């Protein structure tokens, strides 16, 4: 039993103090409801519940380097379901943010996707599902893009049939300049926030 993982409360303290909403996880009772309800759980290396266990155990690398914290889509299911009323989603975002500040690189696709998402909202005021997917797929090069497109062709066709995705490009929203001002302000606030 070499290399036994040691519990060490210092990382937990670090999270409680420095991560946005970090001290909320004190109240987690490890019931696992968040993990069970998360639509992305299959894609996560550690579901939310386990992230919280890892924090208590002091596994700094595993937590800050995990993909899970970057994958959260803000669907809010966990927040609604948590019996301890923990804003799990906020904690996940808080952790993601903290990890980025601390120089941990998120998983490449998630980051690309996020960046493209932001760009589109900034440009048009809305997301063009087709364009977003295309850009995200092709960001890794032409062949990778083709491969991805074929892989998701089925889903794409269904989305079009159900009018969830348009083939013609989305138009800009009215008053885009006001939205941009808001987004600029948000970015500024975010940068100005005190982060260790």
Partner 1 sequence: MDKKTAVYICTGCGIGDALNVEQLLEEGTEEFTIDVSKDHPCLCGVEGVEVIKKDIADEGINTVIIGACSYRVNYDVFNFGPDVIVERVNLREQVAWVMPPEDENTQELAEDNLRMGCSKAKDTQLPEPFKAEEEYSKDVLVVGGGIAGMTAALETAKAGYKAILVEKEDKLGGFLGKMKQSVTMPYKELADTGAAEMIAAVEAEEKIKVYTSSTVEKISGGPGIFSVDIKNNGNAVNERAGAVVQATGWVPYDANKLDHLGYGKFKDVITNVEMEEMAAAGKITRPSDGSPVKNVLFIQCAGSRDPEHLPYCSSVCCLVSMKQATYVKEQDPEAVNYVLYKDVRTVGQAEDFYRKAQQDGNIFIRGAATEVGEAGGKLFVEADDELLGENVKIEDLDLVVLAVGMVPASKPAVTPRIKAPADAENADEEGMIEVLPDSGFFANSALNLAYRQGPELPTLKYGFPDSHFICFPYETRRTGIYSAGCVKRPMETAKALDDAAGAAMKAVQCSELTAVGKAVHPRSGDMTYPEFNMNRCTQCKRCTEECPFGAINEDEKANPLPNPTRCRRCGVCMGACPERIISFKNYSVGMIGNMIKSVNVPEEDEEKPRVICLICENDALPALDMAGIKRMKWSPYVRFVQMRCLGSMNLVWIADSLSRGIDGILLMGCRHGDDYQCHFVKGSELANTRLSKVSETLDRLALESERVKFVEVGITDYEKIPKIIDDFMETIEEVGPNPYKGW
Q: Which residues bind partner 1 (CB under 8 A)?
A: 1, 4-7, 9, 12-13, 16, 26-30, 49-50, 53-54, 56-57, 84
Binding positions for ligand SF4, rule: CB under 6 A: 28-34, 48-49, 52, 82-84, 86, 88
Task: Pick between residue 64 and residue 132 the one whose CB is nearest to partner 1.
Answer: 64
How many other CB atoms are there within 10 angstroms of residue 13's CB atom?
13
**Residue 60 binds which one of partner 1, ligand SF4, none, with CB within 5 to 8 A depending on kind?**
none
**Residue 5 binds which one of partner 1, ligand SF4, none, with CB within 5 to 8 A depending on kind?**
partner 1
**Which two three-digit tokens encode residue 170?**
């989305």
Task: Pick between residue 84 and residue 180 the one whose CB is nearest to partner 1.
Answer: 84
**Which two three-digit tokens encode residue 159?**
């989305």
DSSP 8-state class, residue 67: S
User: Which residues does 193 contact at the CB level (< 8 Å), separation at least 6?
Assistant: none
Q: How would DSSP label each residue in 10-30? A: HHHHHHHHHSTTGGGGGG---
Task: Pick between residue 65 and residue 140 the one whose CB is nearest to partner 1.
Answer: 65
- Of the candidates 184, 106, 169, 157, the residue with the CA atom closest to the CA atom of residue 132: 169
Longest Cα–Cα distance in the chain:
64
Task: Pick between residue 28 and residue 64 the one whose CB is nearest to ligand SF4.
Answer: 28
Q: How would DSSP label each residue in 61-120? A: HHHHT-SHHHH-----HHHHH-TT---HHHHHHHHHHHHHHTTPPPPHHHHHHHHHHHHH
Give me the least distance between CB of 158 and ligand SF4, in Å please: 32
**Residue 34 binds which one of partner 1, ligand SF4, none, with CB within 5 to 8 A depending on kind?**
ligand SF4
Give me the least distance between CB of 41 and ligand SF4, in Å please: 11
**Residue 82 binds which one of ligand SF4, partner 1, none, with CB within 5 to 8 A depending on kind?**
ligand SF4
Give me the least distance between CB of 84 and ligand SF4, in Å please: 4
Place of tokens 């092709």: 138
Give me the least distance between CB of 12 and partner 1, in Å please: 7
Give me the least distance between CB of 88 and ligand SF4, in Å please: 5
Contact predicate 91/21, CB 8 Å = yes
């Amino acid at each position: 039993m070499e290399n036994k993982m040691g519990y060490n409360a210092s990382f937990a303290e670090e999270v409680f103090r420095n991560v946005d909403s970090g001290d909320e996880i004190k109240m987690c009772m490890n019931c696992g409801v968040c993990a069970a309800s998360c639509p992305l759980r299959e894609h996560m290396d550690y579901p939310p519940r386990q992230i919280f266990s890892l924090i208590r155990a002091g596994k700094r690398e595993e937590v800050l380097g995990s993909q899970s914290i970057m994958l959260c889509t803000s669907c809010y299911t966990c927040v609604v379901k948590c019996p301890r009323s923990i804003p799990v989603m906020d904690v996940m975002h808080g952790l993601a943010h903290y990890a980025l500040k601390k120089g941990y690189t998120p998983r490449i696709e998630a980051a690309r996707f996020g960046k493209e998402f932001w760009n589109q909202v900034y440009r048009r005021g809305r997301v063009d599902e087709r364009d977003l997917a295309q850009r995200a797929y092709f960001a890794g090069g032409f062949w990778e893009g083709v491969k991805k497109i074929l892989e998701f062709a089925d889903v794409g066709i269904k989305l079009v049939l159900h009018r969830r995705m348009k083939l013609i490009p989305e138009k800009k929203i009215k008053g885009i300049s006001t939205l941009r001002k808001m987004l600029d302000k948000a970015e500024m606030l975010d940068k100005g926030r005190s982060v260790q």
